[in-house]
A and B are shown apart, each in its own frame.
Chain A
Amino acid sequence: MSMTATVGRGRADPHHIGRAIEHPGPASKRIVTAYGFWVFLLSDIVMFSCFFAAYAVLVGQTADGPKGSEIFEHRNVAIETVCLLLSSFTCGMASIAADVRNRFWFYLGMAVTCLLGLVFLTIEFREFANLVSRGYGPSRSAFLTAFFSLVGCHGLHVSAGVLWLLTMMAQVFAKGFRADILRRMMCFALFWHALDIIWVAVFSVVYLLGSSV
């Protein structure tokens, strides 16, 4: 057996700190599920980052169409932001309610989250419809292409989130707070909060920085 085979072999204390740390074995299902979902969220954020990059590249390419400062309505965006931030809070309340198995507060928290999500989507949809009706659709210029895609991608995620939210409520209604349903609820909460974080970036990069171009 060569040197490398014996040196460093079987040593759980590589730094000689006097404490052997042995891996305790496979993690629990709850940890595995949440961890895997975290990894998915990271990959989703990578996907968003491509649309952010595309927006940054194309923001000046207006092709004689409107610039960001001409079409962004900051009042609406502010309302959207408040809705989404509040919904993160109510989603957190629903998560706590699920943890203590309180159906009433769970339904209430989820319902308010859903409502806020729908308000957000309505404002966004009206913004899009208004732009398209003025002839400023995504085909007008590369800037509008990037704008509609990035904001629309976030909007699609929120729509999927609302659908998931309703499915979660139905699952709790039909099955109760079972262990697997609580794990899904944890994933849903992670998803919803992640969308919130992405919205903060959308708000800053698209609406604030985009207005100054």
Chain B
Amino acid sequence: MLGKLDWSAIPFDQPIPLVAGAMVLVAILGVLTWVVVKGHLPYLWHEWITSVDHKRIGVMYVLLASVMLLRGGSDAIMMRVQQAIAYQSQGYLPPEHYNQIFSAHGTIMIFFVAMPFVIGLMNLVVPLQLGVRDVAFPTLNSVGFWLTATGALLVNVSLVVGEFSRTGWLAFPPLSGLTYSPGVGVDYYAWSLQISGIGTLVAGINLVTTVLKLRTRGMNYLRMPMFCWTTLASNLLIVAAFPILTATLAMLLLDRYLGFHFFTNEAGGNVMMFMNLIWAWGHPEVYILVLPAFGIFSEVVSTFSGKALFGYRSMVLATMAICVISFMVWLHHFFTMGAGPDVNAIFGIASMIIAVPTGVKIYNWLFTMYGGRIRFATPMLWAVGFMVTFIIGGLTGVLVAVPPADFLLHNSMFLVAHFHNVIIGGVLFGAFAGFEYWFPKAFGFRLDERWGKLAFWFTFTGFYITFMPLYIAGMLGMTRRLQHYDVAAWRPWMFVAAIGMAVLSIGVICQVMQLVVSIRNREALRDRTGDPWDGRSLEWATSSPPPVFNFAFHPDVRGEDAYWDLKTHAKQQLLGHHPEPEYQDIEMPKNSPTGFVCAFFATIMGFALIWHIWWMVILGGLGAFATFVVFAWRDHDEYVIPAAEVARIDGVNLEERRSLVSMAGSI
């Protein structure tokens, strides 16, 4: 009746996951009770859960990423503590548990922190920057978000029901095959990634179509803000790469569930095929994550330097070059696995070539700052911190791209330090910069600068104290994923790394404090004009938070830095004549529970597949199909905002804006 599921699935003998699970459960129940008792449930349901507004969905993506960042961060703390004390001893984590923790850490940080964070920011900002009212497929957008949440939920369920994968974040066979991983861990891993992968693909298709087909009048390709370009590149990569992940995990699941022989050692299966397939997705994936971050830095650097982006066209070219070359370097992840010197050389050279467009970008940012009036607000701090950190990570990356060097450094702590150097220094710093930069746009008030700067400095120094020692430990021969070790020379570095982790954690606490303090002082921090940073692109041309329709009129774009042009133009006219614009009715897509209901059934189906509860699988599948049919059957999918209402909403913002322009004009 319940497949493989019985009471033995709950780890009563392991206090750590049980207590952690219980705490999470209490927290969730607490929040739910508060929501219900306070009567917020209808508001949440109508305004958020069923919302198809790209801004709301973007906010929910970022919220999901932030919560999962805490989960993945807890895993990181546990690992650093384990390695600090597990010298000539077993430490406090048993090996099976430790293996689950590093697997969960990697899986969560990439798929459920970095991905939703950047997709959330793209969702929030891109339609605003393009000057349009919504993304191409609003309801599908909601489906995509909720399927991502389903994946995150399943990973967390594995904490208390059953176990998580012990095979690292990419589940290499034959270790992840049925023979060596008979439990449900790999199944949790694979199904949660399959389900959230569909969500990511949907988001990718949606954003590609949005950028290519939905741009306001005059928004030619070479007038798009840099963030839109990197969004386009990143989502093209999603569309081209995520199907590879889907196919690869499907093959692994077929091996596990139906006794197929894709990656087995018997009957002619080929393990190296898994390596090639998974990295053919895996390498583009890192550029899927970092390209949007490059876009964020471009926006931030040019805004806070008070200058147009230096070398805009070379930046576009560099972005698209990375987009293409990222598909030609995957083999550098396994130089040591017997491809031979010729093949290794080609992929080594390709890997070094991809550093060229990245270097172009770095110089463009530096030259944008050169001669600019730089304001060191929190987003700018993250951007400068990124440039320093990312260059170090990039250099160690070029180092491991040299095959002979890689033979020494492969699978060592040096590699661990390298990819944290680029992912934290690139993606996470970018996500934080974007968070600080666009928060006022999303919520209508700025974030507290003092706490923001504290958060930056603690995170920045914490990062260096944590990860520089790992480079050294790697040079001293320490391999990754060690549960315990007997080499005395490594120990001091593990201690330093653990201290660094504590500093990093203070940074995270500061970030939480910043949010709390800012929400408390939100009246003082209110952004009335919609343009708190003296911005250059169209998202700043509407109020904060923007009305549901974003713009009362589709803006007419005449050049790069569209909003900067508008402002300059307005200043020249000074307070001239402002004829009352003729507002028109606006049609917007109706909210729909399709995404939530669909994800509900997907959760049931995923859980049932993991535990082999076949009747429940069929039930979940039928439910999801029925949801789509019901959605297809509805007669009215849009509602009309009357012109008078548009005029009222727009009027308030116009007043504030005029006072801003008149002030600026008088200076």
Is B559 touching A10 in the complex (CB atoms < 8 A)? yes
Is B629 touching A36 in the complex (CB atoms < 8 A)? no
Is A22 touching B218 in the complex (CB atoms < 8 A)? yes
Cα A10 to Cα B241 with chains together (Å):
35
16 pairs from A and B in contact (CB 8 Å cutoff): A2-B308, A8-B560, A14-B222, A23-B219, A25-B217, A36-B205, A39-B208, A39-B209, A61-B269, A62-B268, A141-B267, A142-B267, A145-B262, A145-B267, A149-B260, A167-B632
Is B239 touching A42 in the complex (CB atoms < 8 A)? yes
Is A146 touching B262 in the complex (CB atoms < 8 A)? yes
In this assembly, does B201 line the interface, its C-beta being within 8 Å of a C-beta of chain A?
yes
In this assembly, does A9 line the interface, its C-beta being within 8 Å of a C-beta of chain B?
yes
Among A21, A148, A149, the residue within 8 A (CB) of B220 is A21
Map CB proximity to A onto B204-215 as digits: 1 under 8 Å, 0 otherwise. 111011001111
Q: Closest residue of chain B to A140, judged by CB? A: B267
- B11 to A: closest C-beta gap in Å: 33
Q: Closest residue of chain B to A60, judged by CB? A: B268
In this assembly, does B593 line the interface, its C-beta being within 8 Å of a C-beta of chain A?
no
Cα A146 to Cα B250 with chains together (Å):
12
Chain B residues near A (Cβ < 8 Å): 132, 136-137, 201, 204-206, 208-209, 212-222, 239-244, 246-248, 251, 254, 258-262, 264, 266-270, 273, 277, 307-313, 371, 554, 557-561, 565, 629, 632-633, 635, 637
Q: Which 3 A-B pairs have the closest CB atoms?
A: A61-B268, A10-B559, A142-B268
In this assembly, does A44 line the interface, its C-beta being within 8 Å of a C-beta of chain B?
yes
Map CB proximity to B onto A49-68 as digits: 1 under 8 Å, 0 otherwise. 01101100110011101000
Is B273 touching A141 in the complex (CB atoms < 8 A)? no
- A162 to B: closest C-beta gap in Å: 13
Is B215 touching A25 in the complex (CB atoms < 8 A)? yes
Cα A171 to Cα B213 with chains together (Å):
27
- A61 to B: closest C-beta gap in Å: 3
Stretch at the interface among A26-34, A93-101, A107-115: A26-34
Q: Closest residue of chain B to A25, judged by CB? A: B217
Chain A residues near B (Cβ < 8 Å): 1-2, 4-5, 8-12, 14, 21-27, 31-32, 35-36, 39-40, 42-44, 46-47, 50-51, 53-54, 57-58, 61-63, 65, 138-143, 145-146, 148-149, 167, 171, 174-175, 180, 184
Among A2, A24, A57, A184, the residue within 8 A (CB) of B632 is A184
Is A54 touching B260 in the complex (CB atoms < 8 A)? no
**Contact (A50, B267) CB under 8 Å given A12-B220, A23-B220:** no
Is A54 touching B313 in the complex (CB atoms < 8 A)? no
Q: Closest residue of chain B to A144, judged by CB? A: B261
**Contact (A1, B308) CB under 8 Å given A9-B559, A58-B268, A145-B261:** yes
Is A61 touching B267 in the complex (CB atoms < 8 A)? yes
A51 proximity list for chain B (CB < 8 A)? 247
Is A39 touching B205 in the complex (CB atoms < 8 A)? yes
Is B308 touching A5 in the complex (CB atoms < 8 A)? yes
Cα A74 to Cα B294 with chains together (Å):
53
Is B268 touching A26 in the complex (CB atoms < 8 A)? no
Is A138 touching B260 in the complex (CB atoms < 8 A)? yes
Is B261 touching A139 in the complex (CB atoms < 8 A)? yes
B561 proximity list for chain A (CB < 8 A)? 5, 9
Is A143 touching B218 in the complex (CB atoms < 8 A)? no
- B660 to A: closest C-beta gap in Å: 20
A140 proximity list for chain B (CB < 8 A)? 267
Cα A143 to Cα B269 with chains together (Å):
9
Is B270 touching A142 in the complex (CB atoms < 8 A)? yes
Is A35 touching B213 in the complex (CB atoms < 8 A)? yes
Cα A40 to Cα B565 with chains together (Å):
37
**Contact (A23, B307) CB under 8 Å given A43-B239, A58-B262, A139-B260:** no
Is B242 touching A43 in the complex (CB atoms < 8 A)? yes
Is B267 touching A63 in the complex (CB atoms < 8 A)? yes
Q: Closest residue of chain B to A22, judged by CB? A: B218
Is A4 touching B270 in the complex (CB atoms < 8 A)? no
- B631 to A: closest C-beta gap in Å: 11
Is B254 touching A149 in the complex (CB atoms < 8 A)? yes
B214 proximity list for chain A (CB < 8 A)? 26-27, 32
Is B312 touching A4 in the complex (CB atoms < 8 A)? yes
Cα A206 to Cα B239 with chains together (Å):
26
Is B243 touching A46 in the complex (CB atoms < 8 A)? yes
Is B248 touching A26 in the complex (CB atoms < 8 A)? no
Is A36 touching B206 in the complex (CB atoms < 8 A)? yes
Q: Closest residue of chain B to A146, judged by CB? A: B262
Cα A174 to Cα B216 with chains together (Å):
36
- A47 to B: closest C-beta gap in Å: 4
Is A47 touching B269 in the complex (CB atoms < 8 A)? no
Cα A39 to Cα B205 with chains together (Å):
6
Q: Closest residue of chain A to B306, judged by CB? A: A1
Among A36, A47, A142, A167, the residue within 8 A (CB) of B209 is A36
Is B268 touching A63 in the complex (CB atoms < 8 A)? yes
B273 proximity list for chain A (CB < 8 A)? 53-54, 57-58
Is A10 touching B243 in the complex (CB atoms < 8 A)? no
- B220 to A: closest C-beta gap in Å: 5
- A144 to B: closest C-beta gap in Å: 8
B204 proximity list for chain A (CB < 8 A)? 43
A40 proximity list for chain B (CB < 8 A)? 201, 205
**Contact (A46, B244) CB under 8 Å given A4-B308, A8-B313, A39-B239:** yes
B244 proximity list for chain A (CB < 8 A)? 46-47, 50
Q: Closest residue of chain A to B273, judged by CB? A: A57
Cα A167 to Cα B308 with chains together (Å):
52
B239 proximity list for chain A (CB < 8 A)? 39, 42-43, 46
Is A139 touching B307 in the complex (CB atoms < 8 A)? no
A175 proximity list for chain B (CB < 8 A)? 633, 635
A145 proximity list for chain B (CB < 8 A)? 254, 260-262, 267, 269
- B269 to A: closest C-beta gap in Å: 5
A63 proximity list for chain B (CB < 8 A)? 261, 266-268
Is B243 touching A44 in the complex (CB atoms < 8 A)? yes
